Amino acid sequence: MNLEPYNLVSNQPSISRDMSIVTGIDTDIEDICEQIVRVLGNDAKLLESVAILSERKYHQLLDKGIQSYQKNLLELVTGSNLPR
C-alpha cells in the first residue's frame, strides 16, 4: 500500500530544449539553475532538470568572438506541462 500524498502528473510528455549560452569561466550548474529558476518565476515548478551536455573554453572558440574570461555551455533543459 502506498500512503504517500498524491502528486499531480501531467498527461503530456516532458519537453526538452537545447540551449547554448556564453557565461563566465567560473559559472557552474548551480549558478545556471538559480538563474533559470529566477527567470521562470512562478513557472519554475515546471522545471524538471538542467544538464550540461558540453563545455567549450575560450581557446576552442577563438573565431566565435568569445572572450578569455568566458566559456560556452550546451545545456539540456527539461520541463513539464502540468495543468494549472
Rg of the chain in Å (alpha carbons): 17
Q: Give domain 16-79's CATH superfamily.
A: Ferrodoxin-fold anticodon-binding domain (3.30.70.380)
Which residue, among 51, 49, 67, 48, has the nearest Cα to 59 in the 3D structure?
67
The reported pTM is 0.72
pLDDT single digits (tens) 46-84: 899 999 999 999 888 878 888 999 999 999 999 987 555
Predicted confidence at residue 2, as pLDDT, reads: 75
56-62 long-range CB contacts below 8 Å, 24 or more apart?
A: 57/25, 58/25
